[in-house]
Amino acid sequence: MQDSQPQPERYARLARTSEQNIQGGNHVLYETLMFFNLAALLDETERWSKGLNWDTKTLYMALVESMLVHRRSLMDFYFPAVGYEADKRRDSDMFASDFCDSWRPARPASFKVEWNAISEEVLHLSYLRPEVASNWHYAEMRDELRELTKTFIDAADDRLHDYMKAQLREIAFGERRTGRALTPEVQARMAAVDPKLLSGLPAGLSTPTSTTLR
């Protein structure tokens, strides 16, 4: 008779606190804002067609690479690797499903090729880098991400604050170029402690480490 072996306990992702959900929304807002703003800068073709001066070319390459980094962060957020729910090593990673009870969008057919290309050509110094760099179709990326953002907003429950949903929608559809990650509740708490805390914060671009009170 074969001895029964105890099965390892299946790992389940931790439930997040309301503060963590707010901060998570901050980060999603930042990544989305940066991607769409960088894509908007790429639309300004006159800015980048004034010749190949070293400074202009450097700024252009930095712009493209930054856009791709934010693009891949959002790709991982919306389409994590299979089995991520049971992988304790990914507990600190953030995923769209953290804000939705049901998240099963169709993964684009080009996802794997694009994800690998960004990894090889931007994020890692690799022998797999091609001799001729890829032609990144950023307008198509933007259209795809716009629809994904809308799908995410519609699917997200109250773990994603309504304030964040409104800003994400405006950013994705080109009605907003700046955003403040702090929710009205957090702003009120900061003002109650010291009004000067808010006056020192820019009304524009949110940062990945936006200030919150605990």
- Phi, psi angles (nearest 5°) of residue 164: -70, -40
pLDDT in tens, 90-117: 677 899 999 998 888 888 888 888 999 9
Which residue, 144, 211, 204, is CA-closest to 183?
A: 211
**In whole angstroms, what is the distance from residue 142 CA to residue 35 CA?**
8
User: What pLDDT does 204 receive?
Assistant: 45
Give the mean pLDDT of the chain: 81
User: What pLDDT does 209 receive?
Assistant: 46
User: What pLDDT does 47 receive?
Assistant: 85
Q: Which two tokens mark 72?
A: 């891949």
Which residue, 211, 154, 193, 196, is CA-closest to 19?
A: 211
**Would you place residue 81 in the very low, low, confident or very high pLDDT band (cuts 50, 70, 90)?**
confident
User: What pLDDT does 197 receive?
Assistant: 54
Burial code (b: 16+ CB inside 10 Å, e: under 16) for 67-83 equals: bbbbbbbbbbbbbbeee
pLDDT in tens, 112-148: 889 999 999 999 998 988 888 888 999 999 999 999 9
Q: Which two tokens mark 77?
A: 């957020």
**Would you place residue 211 in the very low, low, confident or very high pLDDT band (cuts 50, 70, 90)?**
very low
Q: Model's pTM, two decimal places?
A: 0.80
Measured CA distances, 42 to 48, 54, 61, 65, 176 (Å) = 8, 17, 10, 12, 17
